[in-house]
Amino acid sequence: MAELSNAPAPTPDQLVDIYRRMIRIERNDDAIRKTIRLGRLVMPYYSARGQEVIPATLSSLMTDDDKICTIYRGIHDMVAKDMPLRPLWAEIAGRVDGTCKGKGGPMHLTHPESGVMVTTGIVGSSMPIANGLAWAAKLDGSKRVTIAYFGDGASNIGAFHESLNLASVWKLPVIFVCQNNGFAEHTRYENGTSVDFIAKRAIGYGMPGHTVDGNDPLAMFAAAHEAITRAREGEGPTLLECKTFRFHGHVLGDDDKYMTKEEKAAAIAKDPLPAFKAWLVEQGHATEESLAAMQATIEAEIEDAQEFGLASPLPSVDELRRDVFAQEIPA
Amino acid sequence: MSAKKMNSLQAVNAALHQAMAEDDKVIVLGEDIADREGGGVTGATAGLSTKFGDDRVKSTPISEQAIIGAAIGAALAGYKPVAEIMLMNFTAVAMDMIFNHAAKLRFMSGGQSTVPITIRTLTGAGWQTAGQHADHLEGWFAHAAGIKVVAPSNPVDYKGLLLSCIQDPDPCIFIESAGSLFIPAEVPDDLAPIPLGKARVVQEGTDVTIISWSSQVIRCQQALAPLAEAGISVELIDLRTVSPWDKEAVLASVAKTGRAVIAHEAVRHFGPGGEIASTISEELFGQLKAPVRRLGAPYSPVPFAKVLEDAYIVSPDQVVETVKALMA
């Protein structure tokens, strides 16, 4: 893995913390996919398996007060931000103990206590709202930062361009994090995007833009550190393009006709999780045993959350009249 | 009690000044709204940036999605943003933010997110601004669960309803309509906020109920004298809030008169009048003395040529003829 010399090196604790977030994402994703296959969960699932490093690294540099806006492929972003798993599982099961009382589901998970402010099912729509959260931070005189997560496809929608321009004009403490997994739904990057690197688009909006290996925790740490520091210090927004790969297509059950088997296998062979784990042990930052114990704790947390979520009651039909407005709609 | 004579735009300006002075969470954004840009194309926001500063009163680029998105995000962080979308047709550019996000975030988050934004927007035929600057689109927003739609007709209501929208915990669309902007009235300095969802009886009567809102109320008022001369006693209701609408007031009035006409500037075809007419028919079928009638713009874009524009708007004469026909 490439060491960058122009950014502070992550401490061993930070590196292990990044791994903890990654394995929590991966184990949780694995459990969701298995539960769907068993027919115990019925939901559209946009797995982010393979993209763990990006939010794990950014979240390791964020405080509880910092905010994120994410998208339908965003459960990894929430788990990285340490969203509690019990209400997450209850929500994806459509139950009353869910973060959103079962009314939002996997594409609209919201948990302000963890800083998960908005999850949108509309490509690109995390960005305009993130700007508003960042504006509020400025008005509050706070140093908190907001991250807008989105995919490569979203860099072609109008909201991206309007948002980057406004963020730059208003010098907002926001970081636009593009998780470029090479495909906009089924369309290969180069068939839908005019530039070879999305980061180049930052030039048009007067902000720094960096393309980073989104599967390399050290490269991600350096880029994330710079962007977050810049936002906290009031210097304005940054566009980060983090190159990665999604292992399970656009939506679970997708037959991946738009890529070759060899291409997919080669990408999966570069799975950042085992590589980072081996590196941590090799560098002496952790031991096989300590990481196995960490994984066991996480697996127990996930099992508990799954049982809790699937056992939670179904919502009452009266919920259709609640939360439309602050005041309940009369029956 | 002191009062000032003002038109509806001045009433909007007074409400914004008052709301910003009373609550430092009230912030304002939109194209050209700061004094550096002239205080808004209609002057509705004049003086705000000078008085309350450039942090709370921000001119924006011409980016409607970014404007509404910024308002939503700031609202999620505890602010009460008032966003101006210069013209109602431009809400089409921001519809994803308004319809998919502002309207739904409370519900989709199970009540955790609250989006107390007010979207002020100007529209209305009469100025020959043609097909993309004058549509009355209240029906679009009334159809979106989670948004309140407010459409005042006179300076007192403009001020009192805007104050309520700004403090309301839910997103509100506040429609400023061309035909109602420049008719002055006395507006009390200490006017209390006027509750949303409550209609106003403009004139009491016993033969026919006319239900209207926004600029169309003025054209209905112009029909009152000829109808009185014809010996017809009209009850005119200004709905003021299109959604949620004051069903109780409307049904009580029609139960009394037995006849109803709904008149609006919006296109009649699939317009809000259909919902109101249908509710009246469902609830009061046995008590109706005549079929419920709807008056609205023809199924056409707003035209440019004056002769066409005049024909597009529901005129006082049409209101008179329709009411007379109901009594025949």
HEC profile for B264-317? EEEECCCCHHHHHHHHHHHHHHHHCCCCCEEEEECCCCCCCCHHHHHHHCCCHH
Interface contact B92, partner A, CB < 8 A: no
Neighbours of A296 (CB within 10 A): 10
B87 three-class SS: strand
pLDDT (tens digit per residue) in B273-318: 999 999 999 999 999 999 999 999 999 999 999 999 999 999 999 9
Residue A159 C-alpha, separation from nearest chain B C-alpha, in angstroms = 6
The one-letter amino acid at B328? A
Encoded tokens for A15? 């590196």
Strands A174-180 and A183-184: unpaired
Optimal mutation site among B57, B97, B108, B247, interface A, most CBs of chain A within 10 A: B108
**Spatial separation of the C-alpha atoms in residues B14 and B3, rounded to whole Å:** 12
Tell me if A5 is assigned to some domain: no
From A112, A107, A98, select the one nearest A67 (Cα to Cα).
Answer: A112
Let me know the angle formed at the C-alpha of A7 by A77 and A215, rounded to the nearest 5 degrees. Answer: 40
Q: Is some CB atom of chain A closer than 8 A to the CB atom of B100?
A: yes
User: CA of A68, closest CA in chain B: separation in Å?
Assistant: 11
| Residue A267: predicted pLDDT | 92
Interface contact flag, A326 B106, Cβ < 8 Å: yes
Q: What is the DSSP secondary structure assignment for residue B169, as one 8-state letter?
A: S
> What tens digit of pLDDT does each residue of A264-306 get?
999 999 999 999 999 999 999 999 999 999 999 999 999 999 9
Q: Output the CA angle A126-A132-A136, nearest 5 degrees.
A: 140
A37 domain-assigned: yes
- Is A323 contained in some domain? no
Q: Out of A111, A136, A166, whose CB is closest to B78?
A: A136
Residues A122-149 have a mean pLDDT of 98
* pLDDT tens, position by position, A104-135: 999 999 999 999 999 999 999 999 999 999 99
Q: What is the per-residue pLDDT across A182-237, written as a single tens digit (0 to 9) for each?
A: 999 999 999 999 999 999 999 999 999 999 999 999 999 999 999 999 999 999 99
Which secondary-structure segment (H or E) carries A213?
strand A209-213
**Does residue A8 belong to any structural domain of this protein?**
no
Residues of B catalogued as catalytic: 133
- What token pair was written down for B113? 């997110």
Share of chain B above pLDDT 70, in %: 100
Q: DSSP letter at B72?
A: H
Q: Is the dihedral of CA A95, A99, A101, A105 positive or negative?
A: negative
Closest approach of A61 to chain B, Cα-based (Å): 21
Question: CA of A133: which chain B residue's CA is closest?
Answer: B73
Residue A3's pLDDT is what?
46
Contact A216, A52 (CB under 8 A): no
Cα A64 to chain centroid, rounded: 15
CATH number of B3-188: 3.40.50.970
| CATH for the stretch B200-327 | 3.40.50.920
Residue-level pLDDT at A2: 45
Task: Tell me if A121 is assigned to some domain.
Answer: yes
pLDDT digits (tens, 9 = 90+) for B85-137: 999 999 999 999 999 999 999 999 999 999 999 999 999 999 999 999 999 99
- Gap from B60 CA to chain A (nearest CA, Å): 7
User: Residue A255: what pLDDT?
Assistant: 82
Nearest CA in chain A to B78: A136
Task: Report pLDDT for A253.
Answer: 87
Asked whether this chain's domains B3-188 and B200-327 adopt the same fold, the reply is yes
In this structure, are strands A183-184 and A187-188 parallel, antiparallel, or unpaired?
antiparallel
pLDDT tens column, B210-253: 999 999 999 999 999 999 999 999 999 999 999 999 999 999 99
ipTM beyond cut 0.90? yes
pLDDT for the residue A6: 66
Number of continuous H segments (helices) and E segments (strands) in chain A: 11, 8
Put simply, the answer to whether B107 touches A166 (Cβ < 8 Å) is no
Q: Which residue range is the domain that position A206 belongs to?
A: 17-300
Q: What is the number of domains present in chain A?
A: 1
Q: In angstroms, rounded to a whole number, what is the distance separating the alpha carbons of residues B114 and B77?
A: 9
Report the chain A residue with the minimal C-alpha distance to residue B24.
Answer: A139
Pick from A35, A66, A199: which is nearest to A134 by CA?
Answer: A66
Q: Is the pLDDT of residue A4 over 70?
A: no
Residue B61 has pLDDT above 50, yes or no: yes
pLDDT at A72 over 80: yes
**Three-class secondary structure of residue B227 per DSSP:** helix
**Beta-carbon separation of A136 and B79 below 8 A:** yes
**Is residue A295 in a domain?**
yes
- CB contact under 8 Å between B81 and A69, yes or no, is no
A162 contacts B61? CB cut-off 8 A: yes
Q: Do B65 and A169 touch (CB under 8 A)?
A: no
Tell me the one-letter amino acid at B270.
Answer: F
Tell me how far apart the alpha carbons of residues B222 and B217 are, in angstroms, rounded to a whole number: 9
Domain ranges within chain B, ordered by starting residue: 3-188, 200-327
The residue of chain B with its CA nearest to that of A158 is B65
Which pLDDT score, from 0 to 100, does residue A193 have? 94
> Scanning the structure block, which residue is given the tokens 């997450």?
A88
Q: Is B68 on the interface with A (CB under 8 A)?
A: yes
Q: What is the pLDDT of residues A36-63, one digit of tens each?
A: 999 999 999 999 999 999 999 999 999 9
pTM, two decimals, is: 0.97
CB A146 within 8 A of CB A133: yes
> Looking at residue B95, what is its pLDDT?
98
- For B258-279, write each residue's pLDDT tens digit: 999 999 999 999 999 999 999 9
Q: What are phi and psi of A149, to 5 degrees?
A: -95, 145
**Which tokens in the block code for residue A8?**
């502070």
Beta bridge partners of B261: B210, B293
Task: Say how many C-beta atoms besides its own lie within 10 A of residue B255's C-beta.
Answer: 14
| Residue B37 contacts A where some CB pair is shorter than 8 Å | no
Whether the upstream peptide bond of residue B244 has omega within 30° of 0, thus cis, is yes
The CATH number covering residue A106 comes to 3.40.50.970
Is residue A319 one of the residues assigned to a domain? Answer: no
**Which residues on chain B are in Cβ contact (under 8 Å) with A137?**
77
pLDDT tens-digit map of B157-209: 999 999 999 999 999 999 999 999 999 999 999 999 999 999 999 999 999 99
The answer to whether residue A192 sits within a structural domain is: yes
